[in-house]
Amino acid sequence: MKKGSLDDLDQEIAQRLASGPDNFYAWLPLMYYCGSFGGKGRLHTIANSRCPAIKPESAGEYVRRERL
């Protein structure tokens, strides 16, 4: 299901921010989505070897482990 483009999301964020800058619940989650879906939050260099005791897991593994 398509809800709009990233440009549409940027416009919605700007509109909500302009109309209610103190109401961060209205616009802050959208900024998170914009970064996540737009690829800005993607890690390019992963340094897993710096923390060998921490083992990455997929979302599916987490859901199964937590029995969600």
Q: Which domain holds residue 38?
A: 6-66
pLDDT of residue 14: 96
Q: How many helices (H) and strands (E) does the chain have?
A: 3, 0
Across the chain, which distance is largest between two alpha carbons, in Å? 47
Q: What is the model's pLDDT at position 30?
A: 93
> Is 19 inside a domain boundary?
yes
Number of domains, the chain:
1
Q: What is the pLDDT of residue 1?
A: 52
Within a domain: 40: yes
pLDDT tens readout for residues 1-59: 567 888 999 999 999 999 999 999 999 999 988 888 877 777 778 888 888 998 889 99
For residue 1, tell me if it sits in a domain. Answer: no
Q: Which residues contact 35 (CB under 8 A, 6 or more apart)?
A: 41
Q: Please report how the helices 24-38 and 6-19 are oriented relative to each other, as an axis angle in degrees rounded to 10.
A: 160
Provide the sign of the torsion angle of the four alpha carbons 50, 41, 27, 4, taken in this order: negative
pLDDT at residue 18, rounded to an integer:
96
